[in-house]
Structure 1
């Protein structure tokens, strides 16, 4: 049983703790003022505006719902059959349209307010561009069908197109890239890059939405693949993990000087790039039907029908 001395000591400790907490809390207004001051000075790191910025969570939802349209029946919560097809597609399109229009509007408004640009009629522009993307869905389905077939024909481990659609990170990254590329062509700010960076975060495959790619594009395994903004990829190209299609080293202050210019390679039709290959430079072209071996480093063009491999390494056992 505790005596009166122990109780008195405990009371003193509690009072001391309460005083200490109060003293620390008194510093909070000063901390708040310093953070607010920093927000006002460091404008690159803050979005202090009455207009909402595009939402990362909304971008994920847009991609999820667009996937339901691109691959009907695969990712839908409801079963889709010939009887309810019109109803289900109609429901998907209606919800996606509103989501898209809202986020595209936020993107344009953010740009206008952030950089004091002339008004482009953001809300109407949002609805207009949402319709344009939805109109592109059949075309996106057509080219994605060739991508899935390329994966099936190029990978002996693929059991079916169902397996590829459900589980291949390369197909997921390519499908998100193709959606983002369509928005990139429509000159929608922010959203395309947010989409491909989301794909990068979940697949390890980094494709800039500005890159162009022909049909029957296959990325096998895919982890560590990097494809830069001005890369041009032809038809029937196959890429393995760890491949980089990048730019040559640029000076520290080259951002404005090189922005929008060709900095990344061109890969012509039916080229195979094996794991770890690094191909750099806007003037570098890999000719059609060429095969680039693993861990090769290339900064010069390769003629068509060429096989490039590393000299066989020597192993030393000690």
Structure 2
């Protein structure tokens, strides 16, 4: 029997790329890592048989400043919201929810650029580290807070607006639909300034919380 072959080991390179990319956003010597990140990114796209890698990297790299600005807003909300938090540095280093949001924002940009597979593997890397599963297709506004991180699920067509706080075990999920309806909104919308406490389950694309 003849099987189709896949280079599954690319998962390891993507995980390492996501890890180093996260660090580079906050590193004062990130310019020294730029060439290595670019080479890794281009190799990943080549393995995934995605053309025009140089231009894709250029467009992606131009988004990093904006992503860092968004992450700083997220971190500030962590510091203000959690009474156990003593500093912004603690958020950047020790909060799995913040790490999950960071990888989400990096993968979401690739998702918007219509890059296949790569953003999904990045999100699964964050899931394995933090216990938080955020699909890169979800739309999440500024100043987003995730506490404890464990067991949170945020589906592909979820819309989360600004200043939303989510606690452990929350599911923003979809109801089962036919495959041909995959592009239809099937996950909830969370409006501005909403807090969702532990273990809440909210399902369906017609559901809006806080409207």
Fold similarity call, TM over 0.5? yes
Determine the structure 2 residue equivalent to 1:185. 112
1:89 CA drift (Å): 2.9
1:53 CA drift (Å): 6.1
The TM-score, its normalising length taken from structure 2, stands at 0.95
Secondary structure at the residue paired with 2:49?
helix
1:92 CA drift (Å): 1.1
Within 2, Cα distance between the matches of 1:204 and 1:61? 18
1:66 CA drift (Å): 1.0
Secondary structure at the residue paired with 2:172?
strand
Asked if structure 1 preserves the Cα contact closer than 8 Å seen for 2:167 and 2:198, the reply is yes
Is 1:282 the counterpart of 2:205? The answer is yes
Unaligned runs of 5+ in 1: 1-36, 73-79, 81-87, 110-121, 288-303, 305-318
1:249 CA drift (Å): 3.5
Determine the structure 1 residue equivalent to 2:24. 69
Determine the structure 2 residue equivalent to 1:100. 41
Q: Hey, which bits of structure 1, 4+ residues long, moved more than 4 A?
A: none
Larger Rg: 1
Within 2, Cα distance between the matches of 1:146 and 1:104? 31
Within 1, Cα distance between the matches of 2:42 and 2:59? 11
The TM-score, its normalising length taken from structure 1, stands at 0.64
Cα distance change, pair 177–136 in 1 and its aligned pair in 2 (3 A): same
Within 1, Cα distance between the matches of 2:181 and 2:144? 28
Determine the structure 2 residue equivalent to 1:6. none
Determine the structure 2 residue equivalent to 1:227. 154
Alignment match of 1:204 (pick from 121, 127, 131): 131
Question: What is the total number of aligned residue pairs between the two structures?
Answer: 211
1:105 CA drift (Å): 2.7
Unaligned runs of 5+ in 2: none
Secondary structure at the residue paired with 1:245?
strand
Aligned pairs (5 A) from 1:32-71:
37=1, 39-40=2-3, 43=4, 46-47=5-6, 55-71=10-26
Residues 62-71 or 211-220, more deviating: 62-71
Residue deviations 1:145-176, cap 9 Å, x none? 00000101111011111111111000010000
Secondary structure at the residue paired with 1:108?
coil
Asked if structure 2 preserves the Cα contact closer than 8 Å seen for 1:53 and 1:106, the reply is no
